[in-house]
């Protein structure tokens, strides 16, 4: 039986009309479709300056010369590329849930990466953790023709094992050469994520946290005496699941999410909570637009 495509062709056609939103202007490496602080030869006017010997005659404003009898050059905002970083939590806990967090996160990464490729941005992916332990970094992709290579890279990631988020993110930022918009997709379970987010902000990444949880984590339907085992470190805890315990769990979950929002706000990062029951098309075309992740 053939493996189904990670994204359906009809959905890809919808994604062609979108762009990833960057809140900061950055200088890129090649002329593409992003605004940059540099001055270049795009169609959006920025300023004038006086002509100097050796300047391109084609950029002289002859209307200004007719009025002022002085030569001025038109300067335009250069539209250049960004490096988009898509970071996936590939630890064992991502295999939990129905719909499964990993399957959901990988399709979300595929869609967001495709949008970046359509916009001619430079795209790099990194999987934190996984069965081979350590970061798995993709080669740089650019352009819509690289979409299949991007999907293939995502399909080859095998999640598993325990993750130290702070160490994994520190290892990545010390190797990555071009900070830019960074989309972090994961369940944020375990210690170290807060320090990791501060580390990213300190290295000038524009961070968007896409916090993915399964419905069984948001509203568990447990009952009776149970032994719960951590999927990553195998630590176990005995509980009696009753109404009071589940109510306290919901309160702690809300406090945790509010803490994550405050951490993100402190480092100028977006925080978006997503449950895996949300259809991907609705998530991309409506929900993430509301949070200015895509436009």
- Residue 41 has what pLDDT? 45
Query: Can you read off the two tokens belonging to residue 48?
Result: 């004038």
Is pLDDT of 35 > 70? no
pLDDT digits (tens, 9 = 90+) for 56-87: 667 788 888 888 888 877 665 444 567 999 99
> Residue 44: pLDDT band by 50, 70, 90 thresholds?
low
Higher pLDDT: 195 or 239? It is 195
Nearest to 91 by CA among 188, 200, 224: 188
Nearest to 151 by CA among 105, 110, 103, 102: 110
- Residue 71 has what pLDDT? 83
Average pLDDT on 209-220 reads 96
User: Which distant-in-sequence residues (6+ apart) come within 8 Å of 30 by Cβ?
Assistant: 80, 81
- Residue 54 has what pLDDT? 60
- Residue 80 has what pLDDT? 52
pLDDT digits (tens, 9 = 90+) for 7-19: 999 999 999 999 9
- Residue 115 has what pLDDT? 96
What domains lie within the chain, and their CATH numbers?
9-18+82-290 (3.40.50.410), 31-80 (no CATH)
């Amino acid at each position: 039986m053939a493996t189904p495509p990670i994204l359906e062709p009809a959905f890809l056609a919808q994604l062609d009309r979108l762009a990833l939103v960057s809140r900061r202007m950055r200088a890129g490496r090649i002329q593409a479709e992003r605004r940059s602080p540099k001055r270049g030869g795009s169609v959006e006017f920025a300023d004038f300056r006086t002509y100097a010997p050796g300047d391109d005659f084609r950029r002289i404003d002859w209307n200004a010369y007719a009025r002022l009898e002085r030569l001025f050059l038109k300067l335009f905002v250069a539209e250049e590329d960004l490096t988009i970083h898509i970071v996936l939590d590939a630890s064992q806990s991502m295999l939990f849930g129905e719909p499964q967090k990993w399957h959901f996160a990988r399709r979300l990464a595929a869609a967001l990466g495709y949008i970046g490729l359509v916009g001619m941005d430079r795209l790099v992916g990194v999987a934190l953790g996984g069965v081979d332990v350590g970061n798995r970094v993709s080669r740089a992709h650019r352009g819509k023709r690289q979409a299949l290579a991007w999907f293939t890279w995502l399909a080859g990631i095998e999640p598993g094992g325990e993750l130290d988020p702070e160490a994994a993110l520190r290892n990545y930022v010390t190797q990555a050469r071009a900070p830019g918009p960074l989309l972090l997709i994961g369940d944020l379970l375990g210690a170290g994520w807060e320090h990791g987010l501060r580390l990213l902000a300190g290295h000038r990444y524009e961070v968007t946290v896409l916090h993915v949880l399964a419905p069984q984590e948001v509203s568990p339907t447990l009952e009776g005496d149970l032994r719960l085992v951590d999927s990553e470190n195998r630590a176990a805890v005995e509980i009696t699941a009753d109404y009071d315990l589940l109510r306290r769990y919901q309160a702690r979950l809300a406090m945790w999410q509010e803490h994550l929002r405050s951490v993100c706000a402190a480092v100028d990062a977006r925080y978006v909570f997503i449950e895996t029951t949300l259809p991907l098309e609705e998530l991309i075309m409506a929900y993430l637009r509301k949070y200015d992740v895509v436009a």
